Amino acid sequence: MEEINILEIKNLNFKSDGQQILDNFNLKVKKGSIHSILFKKEKSKNKILEFLQGKNGFNNAKLIIKGVKTNRKKLKNSDKNIIYLINQYSAVNPEKDPLGIFKFNNTGDNENRSTVFPEMTISENIFFGREPLKSFLFFKAIDNQKMNELTKNLLSLLELELYPDQKMMELSPLEKQLVEILKALSYQAEILLIDQAVVNIVEEKKSIFFDFIKKLKEKGITVVYFTQEIKEVFTSSDYVSVLKDGKNMGEYKVSNLEYNELALLLMGK
């Protein structure tokens, strides 16, 4: 049975100050897979993410979701977030960002921002701005009981002891990033864009993160994982594309590759 491509990028180009950042970049991602984008240059990777988030400046490129040409702005107007981005800054606390470098909890153009409200509970973080409501006479109020029940169901997917009424400030970076994934699930996301999300997680805990995204794959969720670490590709992924000199140097099934082969694709001439 032929595997279905849930996401495709065609003819993605971007030039800045005479430098070709993306050079006819193409990508096909199979539904229900974990597909790594192994890259060297942050600029090229960032432009791909900008394109997937509906930024301007990519006039001739095509974004195809489930076989239909679309763009991120159209997706935002749908009832659910089909694509959801999680990056290495998602779990940054404001005390680690006193100058607001990451635009904490702001909705500006810069995606390098935390989405964590440390003083709030896990439930409040996941459903912030989308809290379930209950009616009382002519008034409406947040239905905390229902919100906690929904959160409890999401937390049951984790092999960690976390509780809906726990404050986010009590959680480790790993736990915060996992809660961020649960938030994506609450939006009914079908494609997770994960950009170097384990950078701030201690080495011995990274396997918990990767085991969880594999669990999501079993539920039919597609993960596009951006990384500079070859080791992470072999730990996490079914497929890998090598982003080099702004081009996709090819799509490979990870099980058919050796570490040295992949390193040569990334580093070799």
Whether 208 is covered by a domain: the verdict is no
pTM for this predicted structure: 0.88
Instruction: Give the helix ranges, DSSP H, for 57-117.
Output: 72-76
Tens digits of residue pLDDT in 32-62 = 999 999 999 999 999 999 898 877 778 889 9
User: How many domains does the chain divide into?
Assistant: 2
Whether 105 is covered by a domain: the verdict is yes
Whether 202 is covered by a domain: the verdict is no
Domain identity same for 65 and 96 = no
Hey, what are 187's tokens? 């939006």
Nearest CA among 39, 188, 196 for reference residue 111: 196
Domain identity same for 120 and 144 = yes
Domain identity same for 253 and 183 = no
Instruction: Give the helix ranges, DSSP H, for the chain.
Output: 42-52, 72-76, 122-126, 144-155, 173-186, 206-218, 230-236, 259-267
Tens digits of residue pLDDT in 1-39 = 467 899 999 999 999 888 999 999 999 999 999 999 999
Q: From the CB of residue 128, how many other CB atoms can be counted at a distance below 10 Å? A: 13
Domain identity same for 88 and 168 = yes
Tens digits of residue pLDDT in 150-206 = 999 999 999 899 999 999 989 998 999 999 999 999 999 999 999 998 888 888 899
